[in-house]
Amino acid sequence: MTWLNPAAFAFLAAIPVILLLHSLRYRRRDVQVSTLFLWEQVMREAHGSLGLRRLIQNLPLILQILLALLLTLALANPALTKSVKRSKDIVLVLDASASMQTQTPQGTRFELAKQHALDVVQALPSGRQMAIIAAGRQPQVVTFYTDEKALLRQSISQMQVTDAPGNMREAILLALSFTQGRLTQEVVVIGDGAYRQLADLELPRSQMRHIRVAGGEDNVGIVRLAFRKVIQTEPRYEVLIAVKNFSPEPREVPLQLTLRRRRLLEQQLKLEPGEETVIVTEIAGRLRGAAHAEILVEDALELDNHAYGVIAAQTQTWVLLVGQSNFFLEQLLTSIPGVQVNVAPDVSEDALPQLLEANHLMIFNGVRPPPLQRGRYLLINTVPHDPRVQADGVVQQPAVIDWERQHPLLQFVELSEVQIEESLALQPLASVQSLIDGDGFSLMSVIDEPSLRVVTLGFDLMRSDLPLRVAFPVLINNLLRWLHPEGEGAVAGQVQAGTPYPLFFETSVSEVSVQDPQGSEQTYEVQSNPWLFSDARQVGVYIFRYGESKRYLTVNLLDAVESDIAPAEALSTFAPSGSEAERQAMGVVQTPLWPYLLLLAMVAEFGEWLIWCRDW
């Protein structure tokens, strides 16, 4: 028991005051009587009950002292204290990254993690809730707060491991946003500890618990794969393959590369612990199709023993550069494989239809083009004969205020520090999209129609530092892919598992049929160009079919961090799991007693009132 207001004991000083008041008596009067024998008889009869009489006479005093004592104790606010475990709501973060496919003697790490998750659900106190987050490439909320254990068990049982690298950092930050710093909520992370993104992340240990799934630390994986056609040697390709040993022991690793059951490469590698070997070789012949690189080893993680790439004929892109000479632009275009550049000082309206048949893209640099009705164009430091895009004078040293980062033309393009000496103040109408905004005007706009695409850049590249920045080749590459999507080369792409892939179309497309690596087909509705394919979750080769066209997409893991399945030696950001008593913060429950003391004081006061009424 504890006293929450011990200063109230000062009111006990009222008890001596009560005793002092009761000690005061009226002064007795002397009265003369004729005899005492009658009083002596009364005194003898009352002698036996003298103690009871005194008690009855002093009962008001006792009740008043008791009343003062009870009121003082009530003001001191006594409370009974009891230590209990403080139950919490739980945000469960389950690692669903590729490394969770690691085999252990008891099954995969992910299967063991799901069993731990079910145990956490089982131990969830009554009245508490749980939310579940899957930590894949992007964190995904599987179930929001609920206390229905059957629903939680079903959600965990239906969760699937991915072929993509995990992002545990973002998953934990999302989980902490659920708790909002409240001590009544706890984040429970279940994973293999093979995540390195938490080194600089300070986490509240009182709210974190880590359940580590161990087992299976022997792995060798393919961490890089790339194909490149050798310039000026038509039937030759360069191949780069990197293999790394993540095991604590040396390994002998057979490596082979096949294309349509034809073995293109076969080598025997010997790798020391932690060693990475890079193989660069040339393969001759007219090759076309999906190539499969494979290491023939038995290890704990089978996923990174395979990698895929597509070798196909290069589609040439013809570009006509009209107007002023631009060294940076010409050098960049000619250095891109599959791009052929022609140069012309000017183009007349009569010659335009014939040039459109011979070129996929026309660039007008400082020269105003003739009226444009169809085709693909880039206009630099000039405007088209189109009322939708006009120039409202010239602006000196304009600043880039903002740009459309999600547009295909400006993806991965950083423009915040670009210096421009002079630019046209473009004023596009509402039907024309501004991609780069200045202060009250546009620096870059685009007309996007089924038969006409015009990109207008308001400033001369030679009067800016854009050609000296990394953003320039990225911008030109995006431009070529967007204006001439069929010229992407090899009509195939390659992404890491879990990464969305933008698919560009030359003509209007309403739906695309996609065949996944398992052979299953699914039809998707297309509502934009480019169309973003976000279901590339499995390692292997995807095939896109639309109309008469067919494209390939190869999906790989190719992640050295994810292939390093050995957990970190110490995760300093997590508190140890400990026992149940250690994991649950101890709390104290206080039961106040002052209401009961106040009730007793009222009873004492009522008793004194009854005695007063009787004597009155």
CATH code that applies to domain 317-483 = 3.40.50.880
In whole angstroms, what separates CA 313 from the centre of its chain? 39
- Residue 241 vs residue 326, higher pLDDT: 241
The 10 Å Cβ neighbour count of residue 323 is 21
- Residue 86 region, left (φ>0) first, then alpha (ψ -120 to 50), else beta? beta
Number of continuous H segments (helices) and E segments (strands) in the chain: 12, 34
Q: How far apart are CA 239 and CA 265, in angstroms?
A: 10
Q: How far apart are CA 531 and CA 534, in angstroms?
A: 10
- Residue 553 vs residue 15, higher pLDDT: 553
What is the chain's percent helix, strand, coil content, to nearest 5? 30, 35, 40
Q: How far apart are CA 541 and CA 517, in angstroms?
A: 5
Find the angle CA(81)-CA(82)-CA(85) to the nearest 5 degrees. Answer: 140
pTM: 0.59
Span(s) in the chain for CATH 3.40.50.410: 89-215
Q: How far apart are CA 451 and CA 457, in angstroms?
A: 20
Q: How far apart are CA 116 and CA 41, in angstroms?
A: 92
3 state DSSP class of 360: coil
3 state DSSP class of 96: coil
69-78, 265-274, 556-565: least confident range: 69-78
The 10 Å Cβ neighbour count of residue 271 is 18
Span(s) in the chain for CATH 2.60.40: 494-556
3 state DSSP class of 599: helix
Running DSSP on this structure, what letter comes out for residue 407?
S
The strand pairing partners of 85, in sequence order, are 586
Find the angle CA(604)-CA(608)-CA(614) to the nearest 5 degrees. Answer: 145
Running DSSP on this structure, what letter comes out for residue 371?
P
| pLDDT score, position 581 | 41
- Residue 159 region, left (φ>0) first, then alpha (ψ -120 to 50), else beta? beta
Using the predicted structure, report yes or no on whether residue 46 has a pLDDT greater than 80.
no
Using the predicted structure, report yes or no on whether residue 572 has a pLDDT greater than 60.
no
3 state DSSP class of 412: coil
Average pLDDT, the chain: 83
84-93, 155-164, 298-307, 604-613: least confident range: 84-93
- Residue 148 vs residue 502, higher pLDDT: 148
| pLDDT score, position 382 | 94
| pLDDT score, position 228 | 74
Running DSSP on this structure, what letter comes out for residue 207?
G
Contact call for residues 213 and 568 (beta carbons, < 8 A): no
3 state DSSP class of 205: helix
Q: How far is CA 120 from CA 129, 205, 555, in A?
A: 12, 18, 35
Running DSSP on this structure, what letter comes out for residue 59?
H
Contact call for residues 478 and 413 (beta carbons, < 8 A): yes
Question: CATH 3.40.50.410: does it fit domain 89-215?
Answer: yes
Spell 110-129 as b/e; 16+ CB within 10 A means b.
bebbbebbeebbeebeeeeb
512-548 tens-digit pLDDT:
999 999 989 999 998 877 788 889 889 999 999 988 7
146-199 tens-digit pLDDT:
989 999 999 999 999 999 998 888 898 898 888 876 666 788 999 988 776 676
3 state DSSP class of 216: coil
Residue indicated by tokens 């022991």: 249
Using the predicted structure, report yes or no on whether residue 488 has a pLDDT greater than 60.
no
Q: How confident is the model at residue 503 (pLDDT cuts 50, 70, 90)?
A: confident
Contact call for residues 279 and 242 (beta carbons, < 8 A): yes
The strand pairing partners of 226, in sequence order, are 240
3-state per-residue secondary structure call for 313-351: CCCCEEEEEEECCCHHHHHHHHHCCCEEEEEECCCCCCC
Q: How far apart are CA 566 and CA 246, in angstroms?
A: 8
Give the contacts of 87 (CB within 8 A, at least 6 positions apart): 125, 127, 128, 584
| pLDDT score, position 470 | 86
CA-CA-CA-CA torsion for 36, 39, 41, 43, nearest 10 degrees? -130
Running DSSP on this structure, what letter comes out for residue 102?
-
Q: How confident is the model at residue 578 (pLDDT cuts 50, 70, 90)?
A: very low
Q: How many Cα atoms occupy the beta-carbon half-sphere of 371 within 13 Å?
A: 4
Find the angle CA(10)-CA(11)-CA(14) to the nearest 5 degrees. Answer: 125
3 state DSSP class of 219: coil
Alpha helix positions (H), 213-337: 327-335
Q: How far apart are CA 219 and CA 325, in angstroms?
A: 54
Residue indicated by tokens 């009083």: 39
User: Taking residues 353-377, what's their average pLDDT?
Assistant: 89
3 state DSSP class of 125: coil
Residue indicated by tokens 């279940």: 190
3-state per-residue secondary structure call for 49-84: CHHHHHHHHHHHHHHHHHHHHHHHHHHCCEEEEEEE
| Assigned fold of 494-556 | Immunoglobulin-like (2.60.40)
Q: Which of 54, 61, 162 is nearest to 110 (CA)?
A: 162
Contact call for residues 310 and 293 (beta carbons, < 8 A): no
In whole angstroms, what separates CA 502 from the centre of its chain? 21
Span(s) in the chain for CATH 3.40.50.880: 317-483
Q: Which of 202, 266, 216 is nearest to 246 (CA)?
A: 216
Q: How far apart are CA 434 and CA 427, in angstroms?
A: 9
Residue 38 CB-density burial (10 A; 0-12 exposed, 13-18 middle, 19+ buried): exposed
Single-letter amino acid, residue 610: L
98-157 tens-digit pLDDT:
999 999 988 999 999 999 999 999 988 888 899 999 998 889 999 999 989 999 999 999
The sign one gets for the Cα dihedral 94, 99, 101, 102 is: negative
Contact call for residues 552 and 227 (beta carbons, < 8 A): no
Residue 157 CB-density burial (10 A; 0-12 exposed, 13-18 middle, 19+ buried): exposed
Q: How far apart are CA 372 and CA 392, in angstroms?
A: 21
